[in-house]
A and B are shown apart, each in its own frame.
Chain A
């Protein structure tokens, strides 16, 4: 009887867990929907801006813009975008694994690591030597200025030659079922080699090249950071939703298994009892 009692208790506890994972899945799904819309709305702007920048650097030689400075990458700033919370499958683990690979690859370089998202910081705080900034609560409230502060810090670090390049590691929202891990170079802004310039007519700048670029380039960095944040955010909810759905399914399977086991034991107990009664009756006869 003790066995049945224990099983019953376990079934109850698994059922409770399933209720929690199911609720978490629903919450993640609702939040993902919002985040996904944000991603889809922001993409055209980011893409068009990128087209314009590309067209600018393709049509003329641009000098004197600190954000376009290129050279050997000796000092690298690595921005790790992870989630603030766990329970989202391999979302964070994928980022961590990739970061380790990168750190290994860049062994001979000076690396400073910035963190966006609590999980990344917790994971790496004792594992990397140079910790830069740790941005907290970025994902809690979202507005277009969310990326501005981060972009400003990164640009300042790059312009003051504190670093030669800025890379960012994040999850891109591919679809509900798929996240792509991306390593992207944020700064310097363009490829080192534009010798393959097409014979295109250079732009006229209004009011002046200087003034336009001074506005356009930082704007681009800001937009890129913002895009990275919302992509990662949407990907996180998608990963959590998938993970929680799997957990709910596993809980259901477990309940079935335990119920079957419990029924078997109960049936065995009943059979034993009947045999006892029958054999007892036979003896008294």
Chain B
């Protein structure tokens, strides 16, 4: 039995991870979950947020994901995301602006405000900023 998890993360236009890891922390729709070795088989919908994993070397890697699925098996984790961004690709300035905009919309909603969308935007922007700060 291996003591590492085979971790793969793919988005429709590229493959971001395909390697052995010790642990993966996944932003599922209903809250964060952590997959260690021998996790029970699970399929979950992904929310918006920061996904992180610990490589066998001990380094932590982060990536911001929005929507998709994850399949957790005892020795394998497969993540299928709709979009994914690595921290170095994130435009901090843009994320900050987006965060402010979403904040304003949530604090002072008028009848045109789509609360659901504003919440999503807020979650996305804060996940981006959080991941970018770890760089």
Contacts and interface: CB of A to CB of B under 8 A. Distances in A.
Interface of A: 41-42, 44-45, 48-49, 51-52, 55-56, 59, 144, 200-207, 211-212, 215-216, 219, 223, 226
A178 to B, nearest CB: 24
13 contacts: A41-B15, A44-B18, A45-B13, A48-B8, A48-B80, A51-B78, A144-B13, A203-B42, A206-B30, A206-B42, A211-B45, A215-B45, A216-B69
A204 B30 CA distance: 13
A3 B78 CA distance: 72
A144 B11 CA distance: 11
Contacts of A144: 12-13
A143 B44 CA distance: 27
Given A203-B41, A206-B30, A223-B12, 11 more contacts: A42-B12, A44-B10, A44-B18, A45-B11, A45-B15, A49-B80, A205-B42, A205-B44, A206-B45, A207-B30, A215-B45
A45 B10 contact: yes
A41 B14 contact: yes
A226 to B, nearest CB: 8
A212 B44 contact: yes
Contacts of B34: none
Given A207-B29, A215-B69, A216-B69, A45 B80 contact: yes
B69 A52 contact: yes
Interface residues of B, number: 23
Contact of A52 (B13, B15, B33, B43): B43
Given A42-B13, A49-B80, A204 B42 contact: yes
Contacts of B73: 55
A283 to B, nearest CB: 87
B49 to A, nearest CB: 14
Q: Is the interface of B mostly helix, strand, loop or mixed?
A: strand
Nearest to B42: A204
A204 B41 contact: yes
Nearest to A226: B12
B3 interface: no
Nearest to B15: A44
B43 A204 contact: yes
Contacts of B13: 41-42, 45, 144
Interface string B23-43: 000001110010000001111
B83 to A, nearest CB: 10
B96 interface: no
B28 A206 contact: yes
B88 interface: no
A45 B33 CA distance: 22
Contacts of B12: 42, 45, 144, 223, 226
B71 interface: yes
Contacts of A202: 41
Nearest to A227: B12
Given A41-B14, A42-B13, A212-B69, A206 B41 contact: no
B34 to A, nearest CB: 13
A59 B10 contact: no
Contacts of A41: 13-15
A4 B80 CA distance: 68
Nearest to B18: A44
A205 B30 CA distance: 11
Given A48-B78, A206-B28, A212-B69, A56 B10 contact: no
